Structure 1
Amino acid sequence: MSKQELMNQIEKKRAELIQVASTKGFTSSIAIRYSQELDHLLNTYNSQYLKKVNTY
């Protein structure tokens, strides 16, 4: 998956999360599922495209 495709998926999932959370609440099962899916996409982006920073 290209960087642009991944960013598009992140934005789509973020919009879906905002929509469902505003209608069903942040603690609804679907909002939690979308949040977890968004987390996964963001973690994928971070691991593939952000520089690793050494912490001491």
Structure 2
Amino acid sequence: MNDTDKLLKEIEYLRKKMSSIALSEGITSPESILLSQELDRLLNIYENQKR
């Protein structure tokens, strides 16, 4: 498994976790926000790798 595959797996994991937390605790909960920020960071890394 290469770095891009690992990154995509981590992105998918965080998406699912963030959705679950947002449904149970609310989209503005501190944990939802932290997960969203981490997901944004990983998505930016992924976009930069594609270039």
Count of matched residue pairs: 50
Q: Which has the higher helix share?
A: 2
Runs of 4+ with deviation above 2 angstroms: none
RMSD: 1.1
**1:29 positional shift:** 0.3
Distance 2:47 2:27 in 1: 24
Equivalents in 1 of 2:23, 2:38: separation in Å?
17
**TM, length-normalised to structure 2:** 0.93
Q: What is the deviation of 1:4?
A: 0.3
Question: Which 5+ residue runs of structure 2 have no aligned equivalent?
Answer: none
- Over the matched positions of the two proteins, sequence identity in percent amounts to 38
Structure 1 unaligned regions, length at least 5? 52-56
